Homo-oligomer: A and B are copies of this chain.
Amino acid sequence: MLRIILLGLLQYRPMTGYEIKTLLDVSINHFWHAKLSQVYTTLKQLEGDGLLTSRVEAQDDRPDRRTYSVTEAGRAAFHDWQLSPIVEPDPLKFPFLVWVFFAAQAPPAVALTQLRLMRDLHRQRLHYYQHTTPDVIQDVAETTPASERDIIFWEATRRFGEAFEANYLRWMDELITQLEREIAP
């Protein structure tokens, strides 16, 4: 998947590994993430496969920059992926739900404390999607040659994040209330 993301992002404009990582951290980060080291190794791999090319620019005050661009083969690989239909819902992983599944084994007070903490964290995230992400999308749209249609879909992913967090909060509030009633009737 990271391979596809890198091919997709580099179609907007050529970038260095470092630039890609910073872009990743503000845009795609909410539904996919990668460490800088993985970005570097995956870029190298894609170049080895002929899907990217790179050229090095020397700089005297800072380290050299290696800028990657997509080749024709890279563009083709990306579009192949994009046009082949996805016929199964993604198998997802929610580590915190594992904790909830086994929460009966923990003392009730500990469980409640953990749930309240997690609720606060998701409240913060919801706030971020509502008040910060719209500005981020604007910023990215200005520094990247993106179409209006791109922005429609970027905004759709933001709304997904917002709705996901709002939904998560509702669910947690209900669970916490239920447990509170059971502990202190």
Contacts and interface: CB of A to CB of B under 8 A. Distances in A.
A102 B8 contact: yes
Interface residues of A, number: 66
Interface of A: 1, 4-5, 8, 11, 27-28, 30-33, 78-79, 82-83, 85-106, 110, 113-114, 117-118, 121-122, 125, 146-147, 149-150, 152-154, 156-157, 159-160, 163-164, 167, 170-171, 174-175, 178-179, 182
Give the copy number.
2
A11 B102 CA distance: 10
Contacts of A83: 106, 110
Given A97-B32, A163-B171, A89 B118 contact: yes
B101 A90 contact: no
A8 to B, nearest CB: 5
B31 A117 contact: no
11 contacts: A1-B95, A8-B98, A82-B103, A86-B118, A89-B125, A90-B94, A92-B92, A97-B157, A100-B157, A159-B174, A164-B167
Contacts of A154: 101
A121 B167 contact: no
